[in-house]
Structure formats: C-alpha cells, structure tokens
Structure 1
Amino acid sequence: MTLKLNRRQFIATGTAFAALGARSAAAASPELNARVADIQLLPKDYGSTRIWGFEGMAPGPEIRVMQGARVQRRLVNGLPDATSTHWHGIRIDNAMDGVAGLTQEAIAPEASFDYDFIVPDAGTYWYHAHNRSFEQVARGLHGALIVEEPDPLDIDHEEVLILDDWLIDPDTAQIAETFGAMHDLSHAGRLGNYITTNGTYNLSKPVIRHERLRLRLINAANARIFRLALDGLEGWIVALDGMPLVQPREVEGTFILAPAQRIDLIVDVIAETGSAGHIVQLDRNESFSQVAFEVTGDGAKSRRAAPGPLPPNNHAMPQLAGARDLSLLMEGGAMGGMRGAMMGRRMSSMRDMMQSGNFWAFNGSVGGMNGAPLASLSHGETVRLKITNDTVFPHAMHLHGMHFHEVEPDGSLGPLRDTTLLERGEVRDIAFVADNPGKWLLHCHMLSHAAAGMMTWIEVA
C-alpha cells in the first residue's frame, strides 16, 4: 500500500532556547530531554505516530545563540536505547563532539551527559543523535542550532526550514521498523515515502510582496538528496554549511541540498498578491511545492538592491603548496563489483562482509572507529584529501570538527563546507587546516552507509 498525501510542504515555528550569560561552573545546564512521544505527524485521519524526539518534538526545539556564546545542555536520555548528541558543523572541543564510541561513551537509558561548548562561528547548524544514528535520526532525534551574527541583517524576517523524509507504514501510521534493512545498507540508503518541512505539511506562511526573507535550509533526511528551485521568489545563496560565501550567488535554475548540508538564502518575494512563492522540489520527472509563502498583500513599491555578503567567520586558509596529500577511495555497495575488503585484521570476502552487515570500504578496509585513523596530523598542517567515489551511488561525506574547501578544477579554493556530495564515479579534492585537536570522524552522511562501513577518523595532535 502506498501512502498518498498532499505533498505541499510548509513550516512550523520552532521553540527557541537561549544560552547566554556569564560562564559559571556552578550553574546547572538546561535540560534537553530525549524521549519517546506520540505526535500528529500525518493528517488526523491517520492518528498519531510514535517518534523519538528532543523534548518529544520532531524536529526538536530550536537552539538559538549569538556568535561566541556558550551552549550548555544536559542531555537526559529517556529513550529505551543508549544515545549521544552531535553538534553538526560546530568547531567544537573534541570532548563535546558527541560521537559515541570515539569522543564519549554512549549515554545509557535514564542517564545524562553535560554538553558545554562555545560557538565560534555564526551560521546555520543542527544537532542530532550520533549513536545508531541510522535509526535514531530517522525516528526524529534532530533539531536546529542557529548562531546569529553580531549585527542584524537587512531583512524583514527569517525562517528555519528543516527538510526531512519519513518511512511510514501506511497501514499503522507508524515509522517503519526496517532500520538496518539490507537494501538500505547496500543501495542508496533509507528513503522515506512522506516528506516534511519542520515536521509538518500543508501549512503556509503569510508574506508580503517585496519582503526580503532569510531562509535557513537544513537537510535532516537519512539519505534523500533534495533538488530544489525557487518560484515566485528571487534569491541568492549567501552561506553553505554555515559558512558565508565571499559573494552571494544568485539562484539560477536548481540547487542541491544533500543529507546534512545547509544552505542560507536571502530571497525577495516577487509573486503577485493573492498568489504564492514556493521552494520547489524536483523529484524525477515531477515537481511540487516543498514550502509555500502565501502573498497576502503589497509591501514596498520598489525592491531592495541585491544583498551583500554576510560577515565572514575567521578560518585559517589552506596553503596547497606543501600540503599533505591523503586519499580516500570509496568502494562497495550493490552493483559495485568489490570482491572483499579488510575487516578487523583479516581479508574478508564480500559474502562475509554482508553477513556482518558491512557493504562498503574505505581504502580497502571496512570503516569504523576502533581501527587506526586515516591519518595522524600535526596541529596546523594543511591537508589535501582526494576522495574517489568508485561506487554506483552518491555519498555525502562529512568531516567533524573542521570545515574544508572544495578544490576547484583550476586549483582554486571553493567555499567552505563540512559536507560534500560526490555523485557516482566522481572525484573531488578537499583541503583544510588541521587546527582543532582531537579525534574527528569522517563518514558518509547517508546514515545507513556509515553503519555499513563508510566511516573513518583522523587524529589532530
């Protein structure tokens, strides 16, 4: 049975949490409770759906702070499974990165863990579960983390838009209990049949013609790549993965939002009064509204000039001359032709790998956090990492703890990112300065792929 619903998507207002104030070791951290809850995810005719959510919400409460502020949260685990929380995209102290099995022990049910860190960069970030994330994120354990610039922008208002998909059993209205399914592990990942924005659908946001909006887009889906376009809106990309572009890039045609990636847009509403502007999703040979903005009236008679760049975050620039060269070869998956790989300390056949739930390899080895790192780096050294996707599926590679530049074909450095999408057969170099000490995960953010072998780490002295 196929779940058939109106797929026009809209946003719901999140709950903001403040994390301001003086540093005080004695102060108790505000709680962030991970718990099971029943919510009205589907239309009311379907009844409620059981999710795992921060504060029982999906997505969880928005955390919003100023650049340079301190974030303190006591994560209280009210789930039936151990968990942890990763603060995605933040150049964080390693002990606070939230990777169970690498930077901390998983938080047992009914236990808690105090996260306490400074946010050095303004931008759009998010937080999500990082223990059995292929299951826990799919159940709803994620939320937005917004770090504001010191000075306000010339906009009328902003919207945080968390795009997600859910795999729903239409007979029960519940999340399908197929986590770790062999097809998801070995193919494109867990793809849902019900797409939401901020956990809602069929809602609209009123706007006024010629209003200027800041839209913060976050892809929280396990594996879905959103191909998007604008209709009735004129826009400019001003930041990728939280990091401002040197110059805004006008949106022409479609743009891609891969799993874990973020895009900040400045958009002007140009649709006529009585109509709507849309963020459009293009899926195969069809398109539909992901988010709609209903134009309820006229605003200014004339439009503003094109926006200028956001204030930059302070990052060290890689020096490619003399950079340390590393390589990462991605192999495996269905139809990949890989015969086997090192698993543990022995060479294993593809059949043996499959029996243990592993389908992918990095540099000829099944990935994980227990083996040797991809590299041990000196503090401050520049790294140029060549990533080769020798599989038939796309992969969104995410580096914890640091942002990197995608190296352009002419050798120039592209925008800063923390997650890069490689299509099948694609080769890409990334470059970064290893300036954050600790053990940092590098993995595919198609979360089923990470669980099935696409995971490694680097160590910075």
Structure 2
Amino acid sequence: MPDKISGLDRRELLAGLAATALGQSAPRLASARGRNGVALEATELAIAIGSGQPEIPIWVLRSSPPEPAVRLMKGDELEIAIQNNLPVPAVLNWRGVDGARLTEPLLVRPPLPPGAKESQVTPLRQAGTFLWDLQLLGDGMARPLPALPLIVAESEPVAVDRDEVFLIEEWRLRPDGTPIAPGIEPNGAPPLYTVNGRLTRDVTARAHERLRFRFINGCQRTVIALKIEDLEVRVMALDGEPAEPFLARNGAMVLPPGGRVDAFVDASALPGATPILLHNGQEARPIGQLVVADQSPLRDTPLPLAPALPSNGLPGKLDLKSAQRFDVTLGGAKSGWIRPAKVALSAPPAFRAKLGRPVVLGLSNPGEKPTIFHLHGHHFRLLDRFDDGWKPYWLDTIAIESGQTQRIAFAADHAGSWLIESVATDWAAPRLVRWYSVE
C-alpha cells in the first residue's frame, strides 16, 4: 500500500522518538481493595494468526482465566502466583513499575525452573500502562514469547468514556508457518504484525465519545510509529507515567520496543471509519480502524480538554548541577554487556549512584544499528542537547541512533541493584544486560 505516513523512514522514525518520545475485567483471586491476587502461567499454546490460517505453537505468559490485559487499581497490593509449565527456565520481567525491588528479575528473582511455581508480592504505587513478559531469557528459544499488559487504573476519576488496549507484536514465520524467536536469523522472513493477537482491530464508537487508547509496542526489536488519521491525538502518558498533555504531531506516535503511549481521542461528530496505521520505518500498513457508528451522538458536544493525569509522585524538577554523571556505552562484551542468563552481582556494575541524588547518564551507541536502552527501577527525563532542560515527560525506554549519544536524567530514589538492557534493532541481535546500584 502507499506510504500514508508521508516521508517517514527509519531515521526519521527514531528522530521522532527522540523529539517527541514518542474494557476487560481483571482475573483476581480476591476482589476487595487491599491485597489482590493474579494467577499467571507460562505455557505452550497453539494460535491462529488471522482468519483461516493454520494454528502455530507459541510460548505465552497468560493470566488464569485468560484475559487480554490484567486490570488493577493504584493502591492495590498485588500478589502474583506464577507457574512455569515451559520446558525451559523462565523469569518474569516487569516493565515500568518503579522501585519494585523484590520483583527485580535475575538480580533478586532467579529464573523459575520448569514445573516450578512461586509467588511475588508488590504494592502498586503507580497508575499507568505497564507490561509483563518473559523475554529476558527468550532469545533463540524454540518459540517466541508474547507480552501481557498490566493496567493500573488511577484512584481519581479520569474524563474518558472507554479504555482500549492495543498490544502490537511482531512475528517472523518460516515457510512452514512455524514462528522464529528473536535472536535467530530470520533469513528474509518478512515482519507480520498483530494487535491483541489478531491482524487487525477495529474500535466502534459514538460521536463525541472519548476513548483512551493504551498503545503498547510489544515488538522485541522494532521501533514503530502509529497514526490515527484526521483526528486529534492527545498524548497523556508515556511509558506509564503522566506527561504534560500534548498533541501528537500529525496524529503520529513513535514507540520503541516495550514503549507505551496513553492517548485520548475524541470520536468524530460524523459517521465513518478512520484508519489506524502502523509504520516500521519502511512502509505503512493498516492495523485497524476507529469507526464512528451511524447512531445518535453520545453527547451533544465534545468533552472539554482533559487535564493532565494525576501524578505518580515523580519530582517536578531535577537539580542537574548536583547530579552524579556517568557515561554508558551500549552493547558489546568490551563494554561489559552480557547475555541475561550470565548476569551476576559479582560483576562490576555499570555505575554506582548515591540514594536520593539525581543521576545523568550519557548513553552512546557505537554500533552500526539503532539500539534500544531500557532502565529498570526508575523513569528518566530525556535531556536537551546542552543539559539546560528536558522534555516534559518521563520514559523508561529510548532508541538511540547509530553513532549518537543521548543524555538522560533520573532521581535515584530506589535503593538496590537494578538491570539495564540493550538490544540493537535487528531481529537476530542478542538482548544484553548490565546492572547498576543505588546505595
């Protein structure tokens, strides 16, 4: 199909990320506020991608009973019971929940052996769009490992009518239809994208209805742009943290692997279908539609502009003058990066930060491909070029172009040992990790 996100190539996709960073019930074991339980299972499953397609075997992390997303409330204390029914070790990776030290994979929580079961308990102090996955040990496995969204609702009312999750994932299939896991050379297999496990997803709304889209890039190696044509898309949160609301440029949002965008969209006053497009730096393709039904409007006029989402408590300012500064080169054994299965606290950390002080990291990518950096334990600000300010949002993941350096800053508020992740934007590239300490 023609490129409908005009002129957007891979480099512009990543530049856009640096510049703009860019209703289901929860399965619970207890229903009252306070401690809530969720049962998770790592297991093999056969799925069909698309109507009329043969089923293919994959390994999944799913809730029991199965749901497209686990939904809880800010202030809940969450107890997870996870059963590993895979023939390989598995470790649960949390994306975006800051300060959850007892759940930190590999450094605190060792891999779960085949057939084993364990429980984890953590308080949900933040509202937002988060992610669970098993991907730290997933490179080169017999099956790919899709992710599972975790939605934590605000304790205060939010001015939306409906909440829609779009989990976008990338697949590579062999000629016989079996999937190729990341970390393995795809041998020219083209990318195939799904939304919540299907090739497309349409959302039907009434005129003047306000939808909260939770867009999640569940692709493991690919930066994507999403665009809702001809409608205003107001970005409200990035990577699970509230932002100063802003309009997505031309309705397009850029997400690195693991990135999340919460956006408010008001349905048009006129009936019709608005395409939702995905761009991977090479071509645009439709992944769904927002369809305004030919029926009476939900209300006579659109809702007023929504205020910013309630804060999760991150500081309004960072004192960069007093910040501890460290340089981190991404990727490669010479830089201290290793495969996740080999990480150990006996190895030197990437840096040691003092508790309660700001940290500035200079992230350099000497590699030939753009590289994704993910910080565990904390969210960060993307700094302006001369360290004289920052973008008005928080992130936990960023893409860095080949040969470039980006500077980020965070408040080292959570003591402990935390992972950092690095992976090049290449299907066969290895996922690498190091660790840092806050003391």
Q: TM-score range by the shorter chain?
A: 0.7 to 0.9
2:312 aligned partner, one-letter code: N
Counterpart in the other structure of 1:134: 139
Q: 2:354: which partner in 1? A: 378
Structure 1 residues 286 and 375 mapped into 2: Cα distance closer, same or farther (>3 Å)? closer
Please name the residue that 1:351 is paired with: none
Equivalent residue for 2:324?
324
**Structure 1 residue 432 corresponds to structure 2 residue 410:** yes
Counterpart position of 1:33: 41
The within-5 A match list for 1:305-344 is: 305-316=304-315, 317-330=317-330
Partner in structure 1 of residue 268 of structure 2: 270
2:27 counterpart (17, 41, 66): 17
Deviations along 1:231-255, whole A, 9 cap, x unmatched? 1432100111011113x11122232
Question: Using the alignment, how far apart are the partners of 1:270 and 1:213 within structure 2?
Answer: 11
CA 1:202–1:314: 2 relative to 1, 3 Å: closer
Counterpart position of 2:366 = 390
- Could you tell me how far 1:21 is from its partner in structure 2? 3.7
* Deviations 1:89-117, CA, capped at 9 Å, x for gaps: 001432212x23x2222101110111110
Amino acid of the structure 1 residue aligned with 2:27: F
**Which residue of the partner structure matches residue 183 of structure 2?**
180
Q: Measure how far apart 1:291 and its partner are.
A: 2.5
* Unaligned 5+ runs, structure 1: 5-12, 185-189, 332-359
Percent identical residues? 24
Distance 2:289 2:103 in 1: 37
* Cα separation, 1, equivalents of 2:405 and 2:103: 32
In structure 2, do the counterparts of structure 1 residues 167 and 389 end up closer, same or farther at CA, with 3 Å as the change threshold?
same
Kindly tell me: are residues 450 and 288 of structure 1, through their superposed partners in 2, closer, same or farther at Cα, counting changes over 3 Å? Answer: closer
The residue aligned with 1:287 is 284
2:101 & 2:389 partners in 1: Cα distance? 30
Letter in 1 for 2:374: H
In the alignment, what sits opposite 2:19?
A: none
Cα distance change of structure 1 residues 173 and 283 upon mapping to structure 2, 3 Å threshold: same
Cα distance change on mapping 1:202 and 1:23 into 2, 3 Å = closer
Q: How far apart in 2 are the matches of 1:60 and 1:172?
A: 29
Contact 1:438 1:460 in 2 (8 A): yes
- Distance in 1 between the 2:27 and 2:267 partners? 29
The separation in 1 between residues aligned to 2:120 and 2:222, in whole angstroms, is 29
Aligned partners of 1:453 and 1:132: how far apart in 2? 9
Aligned to 2:70: 63
Amino acid corresponding to residue 176 of structure 2 in structure 1: T
Conserved? CA contact 1:106–1:131, under 8 Å: no
The alpha-carbon deviation at position 382 of structure 1 amounts to 1.6
Distance in 1 separating the partners of 2:282 and 2:220: 22
Q: So what's the TM-score if we normalise by structure 2?
A: 0.84
Q: 2:114 aligns with which of 92, 105, 109?
A: 109
SS at match of 1:95: helix
User: Do the aligned residues in 2 keep the contact of 1:384 with 1:431 (CA within 8 Å)?
Assistant: yes
Q: Tell me which amino acid in the other structure corresponds to 1:287.
A: A
Letter of the 1:175 counterpart: P
Q: 1:267 to 1:23 in 2, by over 3 A?
A: closer
> How far has the Cα of 1:399 moved from its partner?
0.5
**Change in 2 beyond 3 A, CA 1:179/1:320:** closer
The answer as to 2:159 corresponding to 1:154 is yes
TM-score by length of 1: 0.80
Question: Is the 8 Å Cα contact of residues 165 and 191 (structure 1) preserved in structure 2?
Answer: no
Distance 1:165 1:34 in 2: 19
**Is the CA contact (8 Å cut-off) linking 2:220 and 2:257 kept in structure 1?**
yes
Question: 1:321 is paired with a residue of what secondary structure?
Answer: helix
**Deviation at residue 391 of structure 1 after TM alignment:** 2.0
Tell me how far apart the structure 2 counterparts of residues 72 and 96 of structure 1 sit (CA, whole Å).
11
What amino acid maps onto 1:458 in structure 2?
Y
Q: What is residue 235 of structure 1 aligned with on the other side?
A: 233
Q: Would the alpha carbon gap of residues 168 and 130 (structure 1) be closer, same or farther in structure 2, given more than 3 Å must change? A: closer
Counterpart amino acid of residue 242 in structure 1: G
Paired with 1:365 and 1:202, the residues of 2 have a C-alpha distance of 41
Q: 2:359, 2:254 → 1: CA distance?
A: 26
Q: Deviations over 1:386-420 (max 9, x none)?
A: 11122221112111011111112252132211111
3-state SS of 1:134 partner: coil
> Residue 167 of structure 1: CA displacement?
1.0
Q: Quote the residue 2:10 is aligned against.
A: none
Aligned equivalent of 1:457: 435
CA gap of 1:278–1:419, structure 2 versus 1, over 3 A, is same
**Stretch of structure 1 that moved more, 125-134 or 222-231:** 125-134
CA gap 1:449/1:457 in 2 versus in 1, 3 angstroms: farther
Structure with greater strand percent: 1
Residues 191 and 223 of structure 1 are in contact (CA less than 8 Å); yes or no, is this contact kept in structure 2?
no
2-structure distance, mates of 1:14, 1:166: 25
Displacement of 1:193 in angstroms is 2.0
Give the superposition deviation at 1:31. 2.4
For 1:106 and 1:223, the matched residues in 2 are separated by 23
Give the secondary-structure state (helix, strand or coil) at the position aligned to 1:311: coil
Distance 1:269 1:200, change over 3 A: same
Instruction: Give secondary structure in 1 for the equivalent of 2:102.
Output: helix
| Separation (CA, whole Å) in 1 of partners of 2:73 and 2:234 | 23
2-side partners of 1:138 and 1:390: how far apart? Answer: 31
Cα 1:305–1:15 change in 2 (3 A) is closer
